[in-house]
Amino acid sequence: MTPELDREIVAGEYVLGLLDGAEKEAFERQMAGDAKLDAAVARWQARLTPIDATARAIEPSTGLWRSIESGLDQAPAASQAAASQPARGARLSQWWESLWLWRGTALASLAAALLLAFALVAALDRARRQPVMVAVLLTETNVAAAVVNTFADGRVELLPLQDIAVPQGRALEIWTLWDRATGPRSVGLIDRARAVPLRLDNLPLGADQLFEITVEPAAGSPTGRPTGPIVAKGLTARRL
């Protein structure tokens, strides 16, 4: 078990009220000087507070207190009857009332909840890293030269699939075109085929949007429009 997971488990036990006596006091002293432990307790309180808020207040019935008082009156007789049970029954009762049993059960449940939470975070992270749209840029001979991936958070990246020859003193410029009346806009400039984030800023981005790579001067196109030969191009499509 890692120190981070152990910290989360102990913090969860504290918030659930499973620590008591000297153990609780030692934990609170440790928490006072441990910012990470204090933050873990705050996270568990934030997780469990909404659950407490869902509990509906229930008024006790008029006969509840009478039942409790009657049960208290019968407690001595019940204790005598319990004392007369076989030793095996006493051992079973001790096992059932064992603090370590319930603490272990709560710890196992807490660990399972933590593992589930970590798995959920990992799944969300994987989903965040999956592109929502993809454009495969093909050469004139229909060979895939690069891929443009767009993500839900607005990130756009170009990933080369093969080496692209770049003449001395020249560079590869990446363009996007969403409207022929507006014309293509430069979104990246690289000296060689390599992965690079594209700068779309506030430019539109949608399905069937053209991306292309051209060979330009090392400082980029002097006209703001493609001037060199097209190395590869392709349209965006939504990922299934």
CATH number for the domain that contains residue 188: 2.60.40
- pLDDT tens track for 33-54: 888 888 888 888 777 766 655 5
| Residues 97/82, Cβ–Cβ less than 8 Å | no
Residues 152, 116 share a domain? no
**Spatial distance between the Cα atoms of 163 and 202, rounded to a whole number of angstroms:** 30
Average pLDDT over the chain reads: 78
Residue 204's pLDDT is 86
Residue 47's pLDDT is 72
103 confidence band (pLDDT: 50, 70, 90):
low
Higher pLDDT, 171 or 61: 171
Residue 123's pLDDT is 44
Average pLDDT over residues 163-185: 92
Residues 146, 106 share a domain? no
pLDDT above 50: residue 124? no
Residues 137, 231 share a domain? yes
Residues 98, 215 share a domain? no
152 confidence band (pLDDT: 50, 70, 90):
confident
Phi and psi at residue 134, to the nearest 5°: -135, 140
Residue 122's pLDDT is 47
pLDDT above 60: residue 60? yes
* DSSP secondary structure, 86-100, as one string: -HHHHHHHHHHT-HH
**Spatial distance between the Cα atoms of 231 and 18, rounded to a whole number of angstroms:** 66
pLDDT above 90: residue 81? no
Residues 119, 36 share a domain? yes
Q: Which domain holds residue 43?
A: 3-129
Residues 100, 66 share a domain? yes
End of a domain among 97, 129, 161? 129
| SS3 assignment, position 163 | coil
**pTM for this predicted structure:** 0.48
